[in-house]
Amino acid sequence: MTLRNTFYSLFITALIIYILYIAQNLLIPFVLAVVIWYLMISIAKAIQAIPFVGQWVPYPLAVLGAFICSFAILWLLSTVVINNVTALVNLAPEYEQKLTTMVDTAMARFGVKNPPKIADAFAGLDFATLASSFAQTVSSLASKTGIIIIYILFLLLEQHSFDTKLEALISNKGKLEDTRGLITKIARQIQSYLRVKTFLSLLTASASYLVLKWIGVDFAEFWTMMIFLLNYIPTIGSIVATVFPCLLTLVQFGTLYPFLFVTLGLGSIQFVIGNILDPKMTGKSVNLSSLVILLSLSIWGTIWGVVGMFLCVPIMVIANIIFANFTQTRPIAIILSRDGKVT
């Protein structure tokens, strides 16, 4: 009987993963809409918590303000990406020349004759095709953004009827209260995680911008935005967010001192915030093992790509809370937790 149950569990797990993979075009926009909806609710509550002013702001107006703020930020981010990608393409020949000079100098020091040419490495690239691909990607994102906005609007319109529907579904008062408590706990932890992560990402990006601007690194605004976004991805995001601006600094200036300063500056910021502030602040909202977060990053990245990497922690938080509330799955919650303590 135990072997049969194990087989059924593995089969259902594999089936769920398969459905998540093949239905990603349908599921990802909805899941993103739910995450943004949670974030908007957090912003709305933060607006109402503003001293002396928030108490006079009605909840619908606070939600409207959160909605406008969220999509104004998204519009700003997309504008920065488009403008900086265009400028980066225009400066590509200059960077290629600088990189060629650096490679030739390095090869000459090591006595290498007839070093490979940088131009030959880029000769096979069809920039027209790349530009077309980028345009298609932007178009796809724009179409998904429209779907996400529609989902968010319907979530906002129907959120007040959720409790009524829950009462109609569950007649037992004890089970109803348990379910309400479970939903409230999930909402509270997800909102807390998003608030903390947004604050830490904003702090990291702001400090990094000061370093990049002081040295005079090209596209400082673009790299700042990428640092902000990539810090939502555990572990790998902060590494990628540090490496690329440092490499551009080396190519741009062609000397070690600016490169070392930017590397030291960005690395120190990521280390202090990622290894000191982040564990203390997110530890209160996310009771997940670091190994579990790393594994979930790989799994969800494989299933849903970059979006899965962004969403892996919220998804695992929800799963862990649900596991902890059932006797059969409670051992799984204990394994997933940071300290073995689940409530």
Is 76 part of a structural domain of the chain? Answer: yes
| Domain span holding position 117 | 22-169
Share the mean pLDDT of the chain: 80
- Most confident option among 82-96, 182-196, 301-315: 301-315
The total domain count for the chain is 1
**pTM (two decimals):** 0.77
Helices (H), the chain: 2-22, 24-48, 59-109, 118-122, 127-158, 162-169, 173-215, 220-230, 236-253, 256-272, 278-282, 290-324, 330-336
CB-CB contact of 266 with 240 (8 Å): no
Is 109 part of a structural domain of the chain? Answer: yes
Is 50 part of a structural domain of the chain? Answer: yes
pLDDT at 84 exceeding the cut of 80? no
pLDDT at 128 exceeding the cut of 80? no
Is 177 part of a structural domain of the chain? Answer: no
Q: Given phi > 0 = left and psi -120 to 50 = alpha, else beta, which region is 58?
A: beta
Is 71 part of a structural domain of the chain? Answer: yes
Distance between CA atoms of 223 and 241, rounded to whole angstroms?
8
Is 276 part of a structural domain of the chain? Answer: no
- Taking only the tens place, the pLDDT of each residue in 304-316 is 888 888 888 888 8
Distance between CA atoms of 24 and 16, rounded to whole angstroms?
12
Is 192 part of a structural domain of the chain? Answer: no
Position 64 confidence tier, pLDDT thresholds 50, 70, 90: confident
Distance between CA atoms of 57 and 40, rounded to whole angstroms?
15
Q: Dump the DSSP string for 268-330.
A: HHHHHIIIIIHHHHHTTT----HHHHHHHHHHHHHHHHHHHHHHHHHHHHHHHHHHHTSTTTH
Is 164 part of a structural domain of the chain? Answer: yes
